[in-house]
Amino acid sequence: MSSAFNSSTLIAEGGVAFGTSGARGLVVDFTPEVCAAFTHAFVAVMKREYAVTQMALAIDNRPSSPAMAQACAAALLQAGVVPIYYGVVPTPALAYQAMQDKMPCIMVTGSHIPFDRNGLKFYRPDGEITKADEQAILSANVDFAPLLELPALHGRPEAAQAYCQRYSSLFPADLLAGKRIGVYEHSSAGRDLYAPLLRQLGAEVVALERSDEFVPIDTEAVGEEDKAKARRWSAEHKLDAIFSTDGDGDRPLVADEQGEWLRGDILGLLCADALQIEALAIPVSCNTAVASCGRFAKVALTKIGSPYVIAEFAELAKEYRRIAGFEANGGFLLGSDIELDGKPLAALPTRDAVLPFLMLLAAAGRGAISPLVAALPQRFSHSDRIKEFPTSRSQAIVAAGQVDPAALLAQLGFGGVGVARVDTTDGLRMTLEDGRILHLRPSGNAPELRCYAETDSMATAQQCVADVLARVVAL
């Protein structure tokens, strides 16, 4: 059968691009041939280092994900690789299973972005692909034949079972005894796993708002409706905590006993402290309380995106043994094998939602969550985004601010306040002389402009973000 397609050509012309974590694009652009092109390129890159005979696959609950997985599986079969399909599971569950089996894997998910978009996440046998791997995939020249038939896929249970076992075996069976926990299920890929796991650890679980429609939960920009829901659920069901995730189950969304959602970086800080982590790698957008709290020997700041956090682990490992990272969106990455109360916990260098939630509850013990947060340095972060905002426009605004931050601040309504420090690690992060921090950055996953603010009160942070985004629209 003659070859009809070339991977690099299809990818270059297909409208799908790598973002902060994986390849993302509109569903209409993820044709079977484009999915196959990425799969063939990934196989070719992995075969440069590994003997690849099998590859794991899983999906989230997006309507488009099953067909994309079939196209990936068809391409694997063309390449002489056996697809091992685990159905709908959280991304960290797939990654963990594949790492234990020492094989690469592909997760079909668009994470938190709207359902008209989707994506592919790629994992080496030792964890997430690097930015260098991404470039190798883009430039791999693989010719392949048309996909004449898409295989039927039947999900296997091992990945879900191993993921739950990872945590049920780590803690005592009465860890959550006496706790009432709400699980906001919506369309999360892990919604069938969380309640049984929490019950196994002794909790009373209240299932909340399962949805047959895909719900694009963004854990870094929680909407007012979800904030109101959490407060209402907490009061109505007398909950000690609420647990949820984004679409593919790698970013946690956690509320305390009052129904107040925790910022992901604050949750990560508390988890890392409970795990007695020595050195952290975190994106520059994280709350400065992580560095100022004095609980870690080293806090390294990176660009935004899990590949950058993971890349920093290699440097930290030269000096420290207990290594981790997390992002402002909450995903926690365990960078080294550790022991917890004498029990082993294997490294999982990809975003995970379950570990930070369980460690938070372990740290709270029989008490409440809110005092743990109150004991931290009181710096408050807020973020939001302008959707459907051209990336080129975002980049132009950031570029102008890098040249003349004072002029941009004046345009944004902050004239008369001096700039103490500018950080261009990722976007434009400006520390003002009065202590406020403003950070503008084009999203790496969608045509959106994100704004982050950090101040000494939540109300001020929220107002800063609202003011900045309103001015940006008017520019």
Of 277, 107, 82, 252, nearest to 183 by C-alpha is 252
Q: Give the C-alpha separation, 256 to 343, whole Å.
A: 27
Q: Give the C-alpha separation, 330 to 328, whole Å.
A: 5
Q: Give the C-alpha separation, 419 to 256, whole Å.
A: 35
The question of whether 111 is a catalytic residue gets the answer: yes
Q: Are 343 and 238 in contact (CB under 8 A)?
A: no
Contacts of 28 (CB under 8 A, 6+ apart): none
Catalytic residue (one of 7, 21, 65, 111): 111
Q: Is the torsion defined by CA of 154, 158, 164, 167 positive or negative?
A: negative
Q: What is the DSSP string of 228-242?
A: HHHHHHHHHHT-SEE
Q: Are 322 and 277 in contact (CB under 8 A)?
A: yes
Residue recorded with tokens 């409706």 = 225
Which token pair is 297?
A: 């020997």
Contacts of 228 (CB under 8 A, 6+ apart): none
Q: How long a stretch of residues is the chain? A: 475
Helices (H), 319-404: 354-364, 370-374, 391-403
Q: What is the DSSP string of 8-60?
A: HHHHHHSS-EE-SSSEEEEGGG--HHHHHHHHHHHHHHHHTTS--SEEEEEE-
Count other Cβ atoms within 10 Å, centred on residue 54: 15
Count other Cβ atoms within 10 Å, centred on residue 419: 17
SS3 392: helix
Q: Is the torsion defined by CA of 355, 113, 69, 184 positive or negative?
A: positive
Q: Give the C-alpha separation, 161 to 307, whole Å.
A: 26
Q: Are 264 and 207 in contact (CB under 8 A)?
A: no
Active site residues: 111
